[in-house]
């Protein structure tokens, strides 16, 4: 008998929760309980925004056709504050970050997973807005969210939501990137201006305003990256320059290749407003996160062809040759400054930009 | 010049952070910054516990051999409180939950991703303990963590950490599960006692103590599930009974199959201490989360064989036949009570057990 009493008891409390949720239009704890309320949250919000045959099945996982003998798996969690900023939001960078991690490994995205951790009291209207942004970014990247998970935590973080995305991709065997393939004389390219994402977020956080507003560069790069493969460019190494910025990627490159990276400061594409914000806030533009920029290392004889291909894509319009790999130990990242001097670029320590993605 | 000044400035603050981190042995914000400190966190803690050739490469994703033409992708986030409880911790249920979601879809795990969201101030010793638990659960399941991501958030949640795991698996084409394959007369099996995980966590939260302590059933079920396929059992449908418990799974089954599920209360395996705790705390054992139990729906003529196979695995020692599918509309979950009566089991609403996984 206890059970019967219990279930009706728990039901009545739940009804209160449901009523409250629909009255206030906010997330309640019961939305994460795996019951009736969670079904409604999934149906009325997640599926409404992201619905597709695989996701709609609401099975424990998604079954995907795999055209290749090798696949790529990647994951990223996103804790950016604020959740929405000029040029994007947490949903957009979640999709772009995961698609880009797959693409720089040579992976053609097959499907994404979406893990939502929602804070009690989070407005459902805001959830819808962010899910719509997930959808549009996924459409841009030509991929679907095929499986997901939703949890709810008590009020207290003030964060509102955290997102984890994982992605699986079919490996394009034409693309063979690795630190061990980098050679002396290889050319370093970036597909556009540096620091836009990090400075867009930090400007909002610090209430900075500029005549030309700073906009995040969050974008999926898969199309541009596979265009390089289609053009027969043998990219030796590529990586998107997110947390830690270009300095972080270059630190890995020299550490793992044993070669020195020589960068020309005068060649680094940086928007004036981003440079101004960075100097105002005391950041080195090289260590600021990007969400739509990658470093490409290509053989010298293919550099021009690679630049052509990058610039043909709207994600690479401002692509630039920024330097080259050369010998000389110890292997360092050396920046030739505009003033003719030079300095060693250190690996960022990590204090620079908390909660940037 | 600004850049130079900046980088040395940010370096000094970072050094402070590093010093503090090593002095207190706790997570600091800079551990999530994508720089030097994060490299140390990954190297000294994550790789030390979970290291393997794929993860050690620290690339943007892991490249996996894929022996099948179809793959399964799944994800789960974990926000359980407390992080550690009798029989497991957040790391163990993260691995088991993801492996089990893959297995009930017919997927043989190829690799797992691990997304860590750590709270500033979280003790590194506790992180090591939980990562060691991730490792041992992964070993049990015969799978590796092949890629990951780490973020750090400011103090405030008190949660300490959240984990997201995603997994990719090779689909075993012998396994074809689906609500549409469920038939009248099919038999319902569970592989052991119900409610252990939920009541283990809730007992700790409520400071309940029993002569026989309640221990979570968190366990990877892949081995047992593929043993069913090896034995030629044609499982029509299976799902692990996590949030929402068996009642949640059965609610989906009747809703999607259009058939009624008839359950015998006297056949439900429930430990006395779990039943006592559930009654004390006012929960219906049917709606309590499990982390190592699944519902299996098999053709009547294969039920005995299936039970044999389940019982031959230590995860299925207490496997039981609990009821059968039958016609009759409306499609409901009907529980034949021990006292000879019967009641309709409702889909849980979700208020029952917050933060249980």
pLDDT tens digits, one per residue of B291-309: 999 999 999 999 999 999 9
pLDDT tens digits, one per residue of B186-200: 999 999 999 999 999
Chain B interface, mutation test: which of A19, A56, A73, most B Cβ atoms within 10 Å?
A: A73
| Helices B90-104 + B124-141 axis angle, to 10 | 30
In whole angstroms, what is the distance from residue B10 CA to residue A345 CA?
Answer: 13
Question: What letter would DSSP give residue B106?
Answer: T
Out of B75, B147, B350, closest to residue A148 by CB: B75
In whole angstroms, what is the distance from residue A79 CA to residue A98 CA?
Answer: 14
Q: Is the peptide bond before B107 cis (omega within 30 degrees of 0)?
A: no
The domains found in chain A, sorted by start residue, are 24-171 (3.30.1330.10), 179-344 (3.90.650.10)
Categorize the per-residue pLDDT at A23 as very low, low, confident or very high, splitting at 50, 70 and 90: low
Q: Which of A50-54, B75-79, B323-327, B346-350 has the lowest mean pLDDT?
A: B346-350
Q: In what order do the strands lie in the sheet with B145-153?
A: A62-65, B70-78, B161-171, B107-119, B145-153
CB contact under 8 A, B10 and A75: no
ipTM: 0.92
In whole angstroms, what is the distance from residue A136 CA to residue A132 CA?
Answer: 6
Nearest CA in chain B to A243: B34
Average per-residue pLDDT in chain A? 92
What pLDDT does residue A222 have? 97
Residue B265 contacts residue B171 (beta carbons within 8 Å): no
Which residues touch A28 (CB under 8 Å, ≥6 apart)? A17, A18, A20, A21, A37, A120, A152
Residue closest to A144 by CA, chosen among A130, A134, A153: A134
Percent of chain A with pLDDT over 70: 93
Tokens read off for B276: 């006592």
What pLDDT does residue B193 have? 98
| CA angle at B16 for the pair B13 and B17, rounded to the nearest 5° | 90
Q: Which of residues 204-263 of A touch B (CB under 8 A)?
A: 239-240, 242-244, 248, 252
Average per-residue pLDDT in chain B? 92
CB contact under 8 A, B77 and A38: no
What pLDDT does residue B254 have? 97
Question: What letter would DSSP give residue A194?
Answer: S
Which residues touch B258 (CB under 8 Å, ≥6 apart)? B329, B331
CB contact under 8 A, B78 and A282: no
Distances (CA, A) of A288 to A192, A354, B59, B334: 14, 11, 20, 59
What pLDDT does residue B212 have? 86
In whole angstroms, what is the distance from residue B238 CA to residue B81 CA?
Answer: 28
Look at strands B161-171 and B237-240 and give their pairing.
unpaired
H/E stretch holding B238 reads: strand B237-240
Helix, strand or coil, per DSSP, at residue B71: strand
Partner A contacted by B266 (CB < 8 A): no
Number of helices followed by number of strands (H, E) in chain A: 11, 14
Percent of chain B with pLDDT over 90: 84
Tokens read off for B36: 């030097």
Residue B169 contacts residue B71 (beta carbons within 8 Å): yes
Query: Whole-prediction pTM value?
Result: 0.93
Residue with tokens 């693309």: A175
What pLDDT does residue B97 have? 98
Q: How many CB pairs under 8 A join A and B?
A: 353
Mean pLDDT, range A5-24, rounded to an integer: 47
Mean pLDDT, range B15-22, rounded to an integer: 54
Q: Which of residues 146-165 of A touch B (CB under 8 A)?
A: 146-154, 156-159, 162, 164
What pLDDT does residue B349 have? 86
Strand partners, B170: B71, B108
Mean pLDDT, range A124-132, rounded to an integer: 98
pLDDT tens digits, one per residue of A232-274: 999 999 999 999 999 999 999 999 999 999 999 999 999 999 9
Categorize the per-residue pLDDT at A211 as very low, low, confident or very high, splitting at 50, 70 and 90: confident
Tokens read off for B76: 């789960």
The sign of the CA dihedral B293, B252, B301, B320 is positive
Mean pLDDT, range B28-55, rounded to an integer: 94
What pLDDT does residue B1 have? 25
- Percent composition of chain B: helix, strand, coil (DSSP 3-state, to 5): 40, 25, 35
Chain B interface, mutation test: which of A31, A33, A53, A162, most B Cβ atoms within 10 Å?
A: A33
Report the gap between the CA of A347 and the closest CA in chain B (Å): 6
**What is the total residue count of chain B?**
357
Tokens read off for A82: 């604020």
- Count CA within 13 A, CB hemisphere, residue A73: 31
Higher pLDDT, A221 or B3: A221
């Amino acid at each position: 008998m206890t059970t019967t009493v219990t279930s009706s008891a728990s039901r009545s409390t739940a009804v209160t929760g449901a009523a409250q949720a629909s009255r206030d239009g906010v997330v309640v704890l019961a939305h994460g309980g795996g019951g009736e309320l969670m079904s409604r949250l999934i149906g009325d919000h997640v599926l409404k925004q992201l619905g597709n045959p695989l996701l709609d099945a609401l099975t424990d996982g998604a079954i995907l056709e795999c055209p290749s003998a090798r696949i790529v798996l990647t994951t990223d969690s996103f804790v950016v504050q604020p959740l929405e900023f000029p040029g994007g939001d947490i949903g957009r960078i979640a999709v772009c970050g995961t698609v880009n991690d797959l693409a720089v490994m040579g992976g053609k995205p097959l499907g994404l997973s979406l893990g939502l951790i929602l804070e009690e009291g989070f407005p459902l209207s805001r959830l819808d807005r962010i899910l719509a942004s997930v959808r549009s970014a996924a459409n841009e990247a030509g991929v679907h969210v095929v499986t997901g998970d939703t949890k709810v935590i008590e009020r207290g973080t003030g964060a509102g939501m955290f997102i984890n995305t994982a992605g699986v991709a079919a490996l394009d065997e034409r693309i063979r990137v690795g630190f061990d393939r980098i050679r002396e004389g290889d050319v370093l390219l970036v597909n556009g201006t540096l620091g836009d994402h990090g400075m867009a977020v930090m400007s909002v956080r610090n209430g900075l305003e500029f005549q030309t507003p700073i906009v995040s560069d969050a974008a999926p790069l898969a199309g541009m990256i596979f265009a390089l493969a289609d053009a027969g460019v043998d990219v030796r190494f590529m990586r998107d320059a997110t947390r830690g910025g270009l300095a972080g990627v270059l630190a890995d490159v020299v550490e793992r290749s044993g070669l020195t990276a020589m960068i020309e400061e005068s060649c680094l594409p940086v928007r004036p407003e981003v440079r101004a914000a960075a100097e105002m806030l005391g950041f080195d533009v090289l260590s600021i996160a990007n969400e739509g920029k990658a470093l490409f290392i290509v053989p010298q004889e293919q550099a021009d062809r690679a630049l052509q291909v990058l610039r043909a894509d709207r994600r690479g319009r401002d692509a630039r040759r920024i330097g080259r790999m050369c010998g000389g130990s110890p292997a360092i990242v050396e920046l030739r400054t505009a003033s003719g001097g030079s300095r060693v670029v250190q690996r960022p320590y990590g204090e620079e930009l908390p909660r940037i993605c």
